[in-house]
Amino acid sequence: MEYYKAKVIAELLLELIQKEPGIEKAEIVGSIRREKPHVKDIEILVQPSIRTERDIFGNELLDLPASEQIDWMDLLPATDRIKNGLRYKQFVIKSDIGTITLDMFICFRPAQWGTLKVIRTGPWKFSQAAVTQERKGGYMLDDHFVSGGHVEQIGKGTVQTPTEMEFFDCLTIDYLEPKER
């Protein structure tokens, strides 16, 4: 689909998602964010609020993202739900402009927004290099690694990456605008 058509659909979907209670933030990522002339799917990164389930003694059992409480098929102009995981959902979206796949990436702990935003903006070769250590041919600092959507520094623990800039601080290259990646 042409970029301008996909962007119109993506912005309408983004508006629907952002209005939903329990969604803290959502942004368009992928080839639309990189302004590619041809788009094969719409990718949106979503950060829901988290509700911690507890047992009768008050002990934490599990974190339940608010995104699991939303009837996505009712909210979105979707004709089919292809995937429905906790961290990844995929739908077929039909509009007057055309039909396209929506990939929705759900960000909740331990994943961090900045890390996922870089990875999901892509393209895949850049994302792969960004999570690969320099000694193995990538851009990631050698004492860092990505696991579960967040960055760890060997011997120091989780590196906070709430923005792309903090994620790029873990790389051996300077920040690149999405269309330069």
- CATH number of the domain encompassing residue 55: 3.30.460.10
Token representation of residue 117? 């935003």
Residue 47, H or E segment: strand 41-48
Q: Do residues 147 and 65 share a domain?
A: no
* Full residue range of the structural domain in which residue 27 is found: 1-108
Chain segment 56-70, per-residue pLDDT in tens? 888 877 677 889 999
Same-domain status, 98 and 131: no
Q: What's the domain count of the chain?
A: 2
Q: Does 53 score more than 90 pLDDT?
A: no
86 and 41 share a domain?
A: yes
- Give me the chain's average pLDDT, please: 95
Residue 181 belongs to some domain of the structure = no
Range name among 63-77, 83-97, 110-124, 133-147 with the lowest pLDDT average? 63-77
Residues 6 or more apart whose CB falls under 8 angstroms from that of 88 comprise 103, 104, 105, 106
- What confidence tens digit (pLDDT) does each residue in 109-132 have? 889 999 999 999 999 999 999 999
